[in-house]
Structure 1
Amino acid sequence: MDNGAITFANKLRGNVFLRYVVVSVGALATDVGVFLALLELGLFSMAASAIGYSVGILTHWFLSSRTVFQDRVSDKGTAARTQQKAMFLASALLGLLMTVAIVGTGAALGIDPRLAKIVAIVISFLLTYALRNMVIFRQAPSV
């Protein structure tokens, strides 16, 4: 590996936000891929947006709980882990509602659903990152 790649890997390892961005890009690729495929199949834009977002969220939980917040995820089988999953799902549902509303409003205004989806991606990303980093996977207080 060259020095640039090593430097990036070290920054990635130590930076929660940067890791979250990388994981989000993977989940977003899944979300948008499903969204565009469903649009091509003729599905209504709001439904395609909701389904794509839902598949992206499953991808996001899998990746972020193992690579972004792995040191803050509660142990498997505990009530705390169940609570984290429930809160992660709640944050995803909030993002989903925001995404569907933005895409639906865009469609009602005659805006291309792909453009509305881009706006929804940015707003949903910022909202869910804030909730997940500061609430769901917050650092345990040091004793």
Structure 2
Amino acid sequence: MRALIDHPGLRYLGASVVALGADMGCFLGLLRLGLAAAGASALGYGVGIIVHWLVTSRAVYADQVAMQGAQRHRQKLLFVASALVGLGITTGMVGLAAMAGFDPRMAKLAAIGTSFVATWALRHHVVFRAPALS
């Protein structure tokens, strides 16, 4: 059981579930308030980005987070850049599906999977890449 908890991929999945809860709660609330599907998706994703950084940097890659200075700033910028890739995927898929007459909630579910794979790869291999040993 401890090996599962220590696995960074599973911890990242857990962080993603928490961030997804924030994202979807915001998305569904904004849809209910009458906001367009693409806008609600983008704003929900933005909330999820903040939650994801907080959880990921503390519970998944805590030993690979730069402590301060330029490296910490660079890491945050890379994290946001990876999130923007996911945001583009999510917003594009939901917006196109809504324009085509599909249920935006179903489109959001499809976008979640696509965005998850893209952002995990970027964060694991670029943002929180372990420093090379000398």
C-alpha displacement at 1:109, in angstroms? 1.1
| TM-score after normalising by structure 1 | 0.91
Q: 1:3 corresponds to which residue? A: none
C-alpha displacement at 1:14, in angstroms? 1.9
Q: Partners in 2 of 1:13 and 1:97 — Cα distance?
A: 31
Q: Partners in 2 of 1:113 and 1:12 — Cα distance?
A: 34
| Percent of residue pairs identical | 48
Q: 2:14 corresponds to which residue? A: 22
**Aligned pairs, number:** 134
Structure with max Cα Rg: 1
| TM-score after normalising by structure 2 | 0.97
- 1:92-135: CA deviations, max 9, x gaps? 11110110000011001111000000011000000000000001
- 1:22-56: CA deviations, max 9, x gaps? 01000000000000000001111010000000000
Which letter maps to 1:37?
G
Q: 2:59 aligns with which of 58, 67, 71?
A: 67
Secondary structure, counterpart of 1:107 in structure 2: helix
1:1-143 correspondence to structure 2 within 5 Å: 7=1, 10-76=2-68, 78-143=69-134
Q: Partners in 2 of 1:128 and 1:134 — Cα distance?
A: 10
Q: Partners in 1 of 2:103 and 2:112 — Cα distance?
A: 14
CA-based RMSD of the aligned residues comes to 0.8
- 1:61-107: CA deviations, max 9, x gaps? 0000000010100012x100000000000111111011000001100
Secondary structure, counterpart of 1:71 in structure 2: helix
Task: Return 5+ residue gaps in structure 1 as ranges.
Answer: 1-6
